[in-house]
Each structure stands twice: as structure tokens, then as C-alpha cells.
Amino acid sequence: MVVKVLKRNTKRIDQSSGDEISEMASVTKEDRISSLPWDVLDGILVRLPLKEVVRTSILSRRWRHKWTGISQFVIDDKCIPSRILDKVARWESIMEILCQVQLHHTGPIEKFKLAAYCRPDHSDLDQWIHFLADKGLKEFILQEFDTIKRFNLPFCLFACPLLNRLELFGCRIKPSSEAIGFKSVVNLHLNEVCVTGGTLECLVINSPVLERLTLLNIDRQIVLRIGNTNLKYLKVDSNFDDIYLENSPSLACVDIGLRARVVPRLFGSEGGKLIRVIGCLHAIKKLSLSSAILAFLGNNGVPDKLPTLLPHLSVLELRDVQLDSLTEVLVCVCIFRSAPNLEELHLSVASTTEYYKPAADFLIAKLSNHDFEQLKVAKIRAVQNVQTETIFIQLLLAHSPVLKRMTIVHYGSRILPTEVLEQSVPASKDVEIFNLCV
């Protein structure tokens, strides 16, 4: 009897164990990831590199085309097999991805970014842009290709109601009407773009929520007229004939680089350019200028200070300044004297700097009676131990009562001698001086 009972119990235990194992197998087989709502799954997939997302197509028949439905596509060099070196073949590899998306995608595509070294076929690119324009596009980014071969920007992009970020490379903007503009674009970045001055002016004016504008290597030497009451950030690194910023009162961060020293075609009264371009930036907080634009601004003479001060300017960056150029020194000093609340100064010296007595005498005359009352950080780069540089550093130390840190970076084999710094008594007792050689 005991044995029989034990046999019966054993059978029951065996049966029970089998049920449990079967139940566990059923749980294991359940595809919980595939059962997630699409918006959750999309949120996971768009955080992975596209190459990894495409690989999910081998998971199962259910996943074969799932990758084509994601809302963001970032195509870069990692998406192309490393064995493919030919630039045309690399574009063909990209087109295989884009064709699959066109065939199987449903729902919105909020972001598209192409940042791969390739040579696009412009007819393919045109067709793809038209496809995206009907997909609820919010971000469209074209970064540098291997060559610059202008293509006409499809006008359908101007009609995308949700587009808020646009970066373009190597295209030509030829509007079909003068009312060209972007209704929702906040960030506009143009690189190697061919556009007329009039078209660019209309584009900026007619983009009502535009806050950030970047212009790099504009294909024509044009007059830049930047007028937008909402614009807060402007970066220009290009050649141009002249620049007007009067109608952008909200500009808080401006970076202007002039690619080459050009003789401007438009001339004004004495000090007109500096007053017109910089003097109108009443909301400016950070200003960055290159050597060539300093020479440009000082072309028709420089005032002692701007008629209206720049009370919000706290960070000033001056790149490749030629301290042997009296014009550039005049412009720098004018800005110093017009920025009573300057807190940070970053200045790099041009490599051709030599001692020039008129420039040195002007620095001494104008900065000996000027205090940098709020200056806390100063960094002088590419110092070559020329006397004009030394004079400027000594004046800065002697007239900056709250200076906390001065960094002097010498590009060469010899740092600025300590005794040179000791000749000036710092106005600030708390200043730390870092004398470096790189």
C-alpha cells in the first residue's frame, strides 16, 4: 500500500512538473518586445545606430520590415560597409536603405540626417526630399558630401509645416516667389549654399520663429542683410561685401568671420561700419570676431567708443588679431571701452605679429586710463614675445581689479619670461597667472 501510494504521488508530481515546465516554456516563447506599443518601440530603436536597427530584420518574419517604420533616420559612414570605398557606390548603398524605407514605411519621419562621405545622385536626392516632405518632417540635415555639385533645393521643403531644424549643404536656393520663408524653422544652417543676397534677406525676414542662423562659405560674395526680431544667435564664416544687423534687436550671441581680406564696395562715414554692425547689438552677450572682420570694421575710421554702450556684453573673443595693425588695435580698444561689464576676454594673436610703435603707443594711451572693472578671466593665445603683446598683457593685469585667472599660451619653444610679468603690479590680489607653452 505504501508503495502504491508513493507511485501515485510520484505520478502526480511528474505530471505537475511537466505542466510547470510547459508553462515556463510558454512564457519564454512569448515575445514581449514585439508586443510593446509602437511609440515605445520606436523610442527604443531611434536611440540605436541605424546599422544596428537594420540588423533587427533577421530576428523574425515579423521584424523583417519593422526597422523601416522608425521615425528618425541618421545615415552616416557606419551604415555603409567598410569595403565600399568608391563614392558613387557608397551612395548606391545608401539608396538601398532609402528604397526599402520608401516601399515599406508608414507613419511619420520626424528626422532625417545624411552625414556620409558619398557622391549623391541629385535626382535620387530630389525624389527622397519630396517623399520626406509628406511625412511630418521636423529635422532635415544634409552635411558635407565629397564634392560640391549644386542641386536645386526642392520647394516642397518650404511647405513643411512642422520643420524646425534645417541644415543644408551644397545646394542652390532659387525661390519660386519672393515670399520665401520657413514657418516653423528655429535653427537654420547653410553651408556651401548658393543664394543671392535678396533671397537670403527674404528667407530670414519671412521665418518668424527663427532663433539660430549659421552661414558658412556662402557661394556668392553678397551683402548680408540679417533682419529678424526673433533671432538670438548668428554665426557667419564666409566672404561677403558688407553686413547689416540693425533689424535683429534680440541677437545675444554673434560670431563673424570674414574668410578673406576684401576691399568693401560700400563705404560710409567715419566709424560708420563699426557703429552700424556692432553698435546696434544692444542685447549682445557674447561676441566673436576674426582678424579680417576687425580690419573690415575699421576701414573708414574708428570712434573712441561706440555711441551706445554694450552693457550686456560679458564674453568677447577676438581671433588672429594683428597687433601690428593700428586699424585692428583701434577696433579692439573701441570694443573694450564700449563693454563696461566684460567678464571674459579670449584673444589669439596672429602669427605675423611684429612690433609696431604706433599700435603700441595707442594701446598705452587708451588703456592706461581704462579699467576692465568686471573682467574675471583672460586668455591670450599664440603669444610670440613681441613687445606689443607684452605691453597689452601688462596693461590688462594692471587695470583688471577683479581678475581671477589669466592664461598666456605661447606657441613655440620659449614661454614669456617671468620677469616681464613681474614688471606689472596686478590690480587684483587674487589673480592666478598660468604661463604655458604648447
Residue 87 lies in a domain: yes
Q: Are residues 180 and 139 in the same domain?
A: no
124-146: b or e for each residue (b if 16 or more CB lie within 10 Å)? ebbebbebbbebebbbbbbbebe
Average per-residue pLDDT for the chain: 84
Q: Which of 209, 230, 251 is the last residue of a domain?
A: 251
User: Is residue 235's pLDDT more than 50?
Assistant: yes
pLDDT tens digits, one per residue of 267-324:
444 558 999 999 999 999 999 999 899 999 998 789 999 999 999 999 999 999 988 8
Q: Are residues 242 and 271 in the same domain?
A: no
Q: Which neighbouring-strand residues pair with 434? A: 407
Q: Are residues 319 and 430 in the same domain?
A: yes
pLDDT at 50: 73
Residue 12 lies in a domain: no
pLDDT at 20: 46
Q: Are residues 411 and 438 in the same domain?
A: yes
Q: Are residues 277 and 426 in the same domain?
A: yes
Written as nine digits, the cell of 33 is 518586445
CB-based contacts of 324: which residues, under 8 Å, 6+ apart?
352, 353, 354, 355, 356, 359, 386, 388
Q: Are residues 274 and 202 in the same domain?
A: no
Res. 352 pLDDT band, cuts 50 70 90: low
pLDDT tens digits, one per residue of 74-109:
999 988 888 998 999 999 999 998 998 888 888 899
pLDDT tens digits, one per residue of 159-213:
999 999 999 999 999 876 667 899 999 999 999 999 999 999 999 999 999 999 9
Half-sphere exposure of 295 toward its Cβ, with a 13 Å CA cutoff?
19
Distance CA 81, CA 150 (A): 27
Determine the angle formed by the axes of helices 357-367 and 387-398, rounding to 10 degrees: 0
CB-based contacts of 169: which residues, under 8 Å, 6+ apart?
142, 143, 144, 145, 191, 192, 193
Q: Are residues 204 and 60 in the same domain?
A: no
Residue 315 lies in a domain: yes
Distance CA 180, CA 117 (A): 30
**For the chain, what is the HEC assignment?**
CHHHHHHHHHHHHHHHHHHHHHHHHHHHHCCCCCCCCHHHHHHHHCCCCHHHHHHHHHCCHHHCCHHHHCCEEEEEHHHCCCCCCCHHHHHHHHHHHHHHHHHHCCCCCCEEEEECCCCCCHHHHHHHHHHHHCCCCCEEEECCCCCCCCEECCHHHHHCCCCCEEEEECEECCCCCCCCCCCCCCEEEEECCECCHHHHHHHHHCCCCCCEEEEECCCCCEEEECCCCCCCEEEEEECEEEEECCCCCCCCEEEEEECCCCCCCCCCCCCHHHHHHCCCCCCCCEEEEEHHHHHHHCCCCCCCCCCCCCCCCCEEEEEEECCCCHHHHHHHHHHHHHCCCCCEEEEEECCCCCCCHHHHHHHHHHHCCCCCCCCCEEEEEEECCCHHHHHHHHHHHHCCCCCCEEEEEECCCCCCCHHHHHCCCCCCCCCEEEEEEC
Written as nine digits, the cell of 370 is 581704462
Total structural domains in the chain? 3
Q: Cα 266 from chain centroid?
A: 30
Q: Are residues 310 and 345 in the same domain?
A: yes
Higher pLDDT, 198 or 148: 198
Q: Which of 189, 218, 251 is the last residue of a domain?
A: 251
User: Is residue 413's pLDDT more than 80?
Assistant: no
User: Is residue 127's pLDDT more than 80?
Assistant: yes
pLDDT at 268: 46
Residue 291 lies in a domain: yes
Residue 17 lies in a domain: no
Q: Are residues 396 and 270 in the same domain?
A: yes
Q: Which of 195, 221, 251 is the last residue of a domain?
A: 251
User: Is residue 28's pLDDT more than 70?
Assistant: no
pLDDT at 11: 45
Residue 27 lies in a domain: no
Q: Which residue has the cell 577683479?
A: 402
Q: Are residues 244 and 268 in the same domain?
A: no
pLDDT at 418: 73
46-69: b or e for each residue (b if 16 or more CB lie within 10 Å)? beeebeebeeeeeeeeeeeebbbb
Q: Which of 312, 317, 323, 319 is nearest to 284 (CA)?
A: 312
Domain containing 213: what range? 168-251
Q: What is the CA radius of gyration of the chain?
A: 31
pTM score above 0.75? yes
Q: Are residues 337 and 416 in the same domain?
A: yes
Answer whether 132's CB lies under 8 Å from 101's CB: no
pLDDT at 244: 95
User: Is residue 6's pLDDT more than 80?
Assistant: no
Distance CA 70, CA 112 (A): 11
User: Is residue 66's pLDDT more than 60?
Assistant: yes
pLDDT at 59: 56
Written as nine digits, the cell of 183 is 514657418
Q: Are residues 315 and 424 in the same domain?
A: yes
